[in-house]
């Protein structure tokens, strides 16, 4: 039976670490190609797709500041790392025939478009995948916050947060064997329990805009499609979860 998407427009948040596979640093082209295949599958179903990507596989601004680099400088370095990742993903997507545009919150006109909301919406309406890079363009904000912001700006119906675990747990399942998977969670529960699936600013922004968040394991092939088709995969953070 042919699957049908449950959403018209989505935003997918990818961590930089997702691109490095089993490596300790950098970009694994085979992993990027696999992620691109899953994104293209959803895109070909007619789902308008935007992406925000992190830069942790190259450098994190906060981590750099702990090593002595000025925090603002470190954050700008991290933003530039996300541009590198966005270009790598764009290349993989276009090799699979998907028209793609990269927009950056820091202007780098030689390699990508500046962030212009109306242009991004036009690209989505034209069937192009839009990758938002350079975070919010401001220091002290994470790419999770950027994902929530861009999702709200483009009126996305769902924010997909791809992770290395199966969803939202009561604790880190990689460290605590007693951790329990929570299928449905409210924004308030995430904040009150400090579940740390995204930073507080991102969760608050999603709450204020009634934007549901799907948390799922990127390592399971086909999960992006399953979530987009409305299957219960991982966890959902929303305002309708039982207290």
Residue 2 has pLDDT above 70, yes or no: no
pTM for the full model?
Answer: 0.94
Residue 46 has pLDDT above 90, yes or no: yes
* Domains observed in the chain: 9-238 (3.40.1160.10)
Q: Which residues pair with 104 in a beta bridge?
A: 114, 133
Structure tokens at 125: 């309406």
Give the CA radius of gyration of the chain: 17
Strands (E), 61-173: 100-104, 113-114, 129-133, 158-163, 168-169
Residue 242: pLDDT band (50, 70, 90) is low
Residue with tokens 């300790």: 24
When pLDDT is averaged across residues 130-144 and rounded to a whole number, the result is: 97
How far apart are alpha carbons 151 and 221 in whole angstroms?
A: 24
User: In the chain, what are the helix, strand and coil shares in percent, each to the nearest 5?
Assistant: 40, 20, 45
The CA distances from residue 116 to 32, 83, 101, 102, 136, in Å, are: 26, 16, 12, 11, 12
pLDDT at position 177 is 86
How far apart are alpha carbons 162 and 175 in whole angstroms?
A: 19
Q: What is the mean pLDDT of the chain?
A: 94
């Amino acid at each position: 039976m042919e699957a049908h998407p449950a959403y018209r427009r989505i935003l997918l948040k990818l961590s930089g670490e997702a691109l490095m596979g089993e490596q300790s640093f950098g970009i694994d082209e085979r992993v990027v190609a696999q992620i691109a295949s899953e994104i293209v599958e959803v895109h070909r179903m007619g789902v308008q797709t935007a992406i925000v990507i992190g830069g942790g596989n190259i450098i994190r601004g906060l981590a750099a500041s702990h090593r002595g680099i000025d925090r603002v400088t470190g954050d700008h370095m991290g933003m530039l790392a996300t541009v590198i990742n966005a270009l790598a993903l764009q290349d993989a997507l276009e090799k699979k025939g998907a028209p793609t545009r990269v927009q950056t919150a820091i202007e780098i006109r030689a390699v990508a478009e500046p962030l212009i909301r109306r242009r991004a919406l036009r690209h989505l309406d034209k069937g192009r995948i839009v990758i938002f890079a350079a975070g919010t363009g401001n220091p002290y904000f994470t790419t999770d916050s950027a994902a929530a912001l861009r999702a709200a700006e483009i009126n996305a119906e769902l924010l997909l947060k791809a992770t290395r675990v199966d969803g939202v747990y009561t604790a880190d399942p990689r460290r605590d064997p007693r951790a329990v998977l929570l299928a449905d969670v409210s924004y308030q529960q995430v904040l009150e329990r400090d579940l740390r699936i995204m930073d507080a600013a991102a969760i608050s922004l999603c709450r204020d805009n009634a934007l549901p968040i799907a948390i799922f394991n990127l390592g399971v092939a086909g999960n992006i499609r399953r979530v987009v088709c409305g299957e219960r995969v991982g966890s959902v953070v929303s305002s309708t979860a039982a207290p």
